[in-house]
Amino acid sequence: MSGTSDRRSFLKGATTGVGVGLLGAMGFYSYSSARKTHFAETDRKMTDIGICKSVKVTNISETSWFENAVLMGDIKGAGGLLVNQYDYNWPPFGNGKGLGNGSYEDGIQKIKHLLPDKLDEAWEIIERETIHSDNAGGFAALVEVEGMEGDKHKFLLDSGWSYKWMDESFKREGIDKMLRNKEIEALFISHEHFDHFWGLPVTMKYDPEITIYIPEGFYPEGLQYIKDSGHKGEVIEVKNGLKTFLPGMASYVFPIPIICRVFGEQSLYFNVADKGLVSVTGCCHQGIIRFAETAIKEIKYENDNFHGIYGGLHISPFDDWDPKYDDLVISLRNYGFEKIGCNHCTGVLCARKFVTAGYPVIEGTARYRSKDKAYLGNGDVITFG
């Protein structure tokens, strides 16, 4: 399917079918109709971001946390999804005062002198002072882009959560060596959430001078953490909207309020020669509908075709399935995606439904503590173009 009108019909139907269910599952700020006021209505701009030859994504770690029940129990016990994430007393910012009584200032003071080089020592302190440190994992991916002239570029998307788990994952995939050798040009942080951002010192351990791109909307704690993690390079705040980085590669910052007092998400778009648009996202808190609609309104891409998507589609990340979500699964066929790669934020139940429906899901290997082959799991790869 390459026609814009069919995709627009899908967007309208999907919005009607799933809005209420998502609101109940994930909290007011992420999925209420009020968040739409943050997006201005625009005509189709057809911005030319250029083209690239191919995109390859290696899933360093999709396991943001290991047990949904433990994470949700902590969130409920600390006061719910609208509580400031720095107050949960999760790793690494523990002060020993128990669930819901944490603070960034207290926690960072216990480990700051050890960052970023002595992560093992820091984690020993963290295990003593925080709640459920063994449940922390993290999301991070290596994104490799090949230009039309054969030039190759490597980027990190996010840096995970647990120092221990992410350091193991970086070493498993050779990311530690790539960073030391300055092969990775920049780190893109999708958003300030614990499972995507709090593992930052692991990246700093191997390349403290790496350029970091963050979305507009970071809170003071997040900005300070970049410094406290040992970063010595440039931090660039990407403003809301579309920004081209390379021919065929752009990011888009969505100005949206997200659960756990986080604001703004940065996702990536690629225009792959002869194939079409490829969308890469950490969690997609903006919603897959808004993600697709933004591409239609903003970007010119090959064959006017949605070629593929990788990342969190943020439909049922806690596997709390509601029948209303089935409308979205059924309607997804109208996109005509040629490749779909899911991570944790899609939800195992949703990813399995995609497979059962016959969608072109690139399945994983369920290695390294990934739970299901319906995901592109830890160490798995997807290529576009």
User: What CATH number did the domain enclosing 327 receive?
Assistant: 3.60.15.10
Task: Report the pLDDT value the prediction gives residue 317, as an integer from 0 to 100.
Answer: 67
Which pLDDT band, with edges at 50, 70 and 90, does 365 fall under? very high
Task: Report the pLDDT value the prediction gives residue 22, as an integer from 0 to 100.
Answer: 34
More confidently predicted of 109 and 20:
109
Task: Report the pLDDT value the prediction gives residue 303, as an integer from 0 to 100.
Answer: 94
> Above 90 in pLDDT, residue 21?
no
Task: Report the pLDDT value the prediction gives residue 12, as an integer from 0 to 100.
Answer: 36
> Above 60 in pLDDT, residue 6?
no
Task: Report the pLDDT value the prediction gives residue 321, as an integer from 0 to 100.
Answer: 65
> Above 80 in pLDDT, residue 113?
yes
> Above 50 in pLDDT, residue 76?
yes
Instruction: Note the pLDDT tens digit of each residue in 30-65.
Output: 434 444 444 445 578 899 999 999 999 999 999 999
Average pLDDT, the chain: 87
Task: Report the pLDDT value the prediction gives residue 302, as an integer from 0 to 100.
Answer: 96
Task: Report the pLDDT value the prediction gives residue 37, as an integer from 0 to 100.
Answer: 47
Give the number of domains in the chain. Answer: 1
- Average pLDDT of the residues in 257-285: 95
Tokens of 312: 């969190």
The residue segments making up the domain with residue 225 are 4-384
- Average pLDDT of the residues in 197-219: 98
Exposure b/e, 369-380, CB count within 10 A at least 16 = b: ebeebbbbbbbb
